[in-house]
A and B are shown apart, each in its own frame.
Chain A
Amino acid sequence: MEFVFDMGAHARFIWPAYAAFLAIFAGLALWAWVTAGRARAELEKREKRRERRE
């Protein structure tokens, strides 16, 4: 198995494809992580308020 780094004339197509993959995957992962944190904090806040009322 030979390690290939030089993509030749097709490098200008291959690297942008992998860059698009990185951008979309990083975006989705970040969005899931950030919204999960916000939702957890929001629910905790609401539950604490309810406990205080009871």
Chain B
Amino acid sequence: MSIWRYANPAEFMRISGAALPFCIWGAAVALVVGLGWGLFLTPLHYEQGESARIIYIHVPASMLAINTYFLMAFASIIGLVRRHHVSFLAAKAAAPIGAGMTALALVTGALWGAPTWGTWWVWDPKLTSVLIMFFFYIGYIALWNAIEDPEKAADLTAVLCLVGVVFAVMSRYAVEIFDGRTLHQPASLSLDAEENVANVYYKPLLVSIAGFYLFFFAVMLSRTRTEIRLRRARALALQAARD
């Protein structure tokens, strides 16, 4: 069975309609448990003090900010190559969530940095890349809204999205690329257990990350469904105008 059948709007509406309640309720439970656990039930961090409680928001928001951009780029390539409109619409639906997550990562990063580094902001390669990625998100959303023809808007925004991928890659790998020359520390999570934060912080962080991702899928599925409906409504309006 081909995966491309999911690119059919009717099939997408059927499957996303079934998945949506699980994402919504899963997100609500995981966010309450993960953030409640992290905020109120974890011990004081020996180095960062109480400010370590911000990581339960900052780490998932940063991961999602970068991965949403990669997902949009992937959807844009599929849209450009295979001309599947659901791909373009999924990228369009994901952009404001990615922008929101990037804004949250920047704000919580500043709030964490002030007591930990002694500064709200530095023009560090990682932080600067994330800021530029945020501008790409805003530019992408603005371009969709600025072009009236949806076909043209889909193509141009996909190209813009692909141009910005370099900043998503930089946001993800800046610490490794600029080894030792960035203020930002390496990732808090890794497949190698020794590099992870201590277990007592790690478990609530994983639950919080699950909550953020489920929330992302809930909003993205809902917004893609909305875009499909609006596209259908536009097509009916055009048909009525022709008749």
B80 within 8 A of A: no
Interface centre among A11, A28, A29, A33 (most CB of B within 10 A): A28
A46 touches B237 (CB 8 A): yes
B108 touches A17 (CB 8 A): yes
B41 touches A1 (CB 8 A): yes
B26 within 8 A of A: no
A32 touches B107 (CB 8 A): no
B75 within 8 A of A: no
Contacts of A46 on B, CB cut-off 8 Å? Answer: 232-233, 236-237, 240
B128 within 8 A of A: no
Contacts of A9 on B, CB cut-off 8 Å? Answer: 49-50, 115
Instruction: Give the contact stretch, choosing among B149-157, B171-179, B223-231.
Output: B223-231
Q: What CA separation (Å) do A33 and B225 show in the bound complex?
A: 11
B233 touches A50 (CB 8 A): no
Q: A42-B229, A42-B230, A43-B229 are in contact. Are A28 and B240 (CB under 8 A)?
A: no
How many positions in chain A have a CB within 8 Å of any CB in the partner chain? Answer: 37
Contacts of A5 on B, CB cut-off 8 Å? Answer: 40
Q: Residue-by-residue, is A8-19 near B (CB-CB < 8 Å gives 1, otherwise 0)?
A: 111101101110
Which A-B residue pairs are the 6 nearest by beta carbons? A46-B236, A10-B50, A39-B229, A39-B226, A32-B222, A10-B51
A14 touches B50 (CB 8 A): yes
B41 touches A32 (CB 8 A): no
Contacts of A53 on B, CB cut-off 8 Å? Answer: 240, 243
A50 touches B53 (CB 8 A): no
Interface centre among B35, B40, B115, B229 (most CB of A within 10 A): B229
Q: A3-B40, A47-B236, A50-B240 are in contact. Are A36 and B226 (CB under 8 A)?
A: yes
Q: What CA separation (Å) do A25 and B235 show in the bound complex?
A: 32
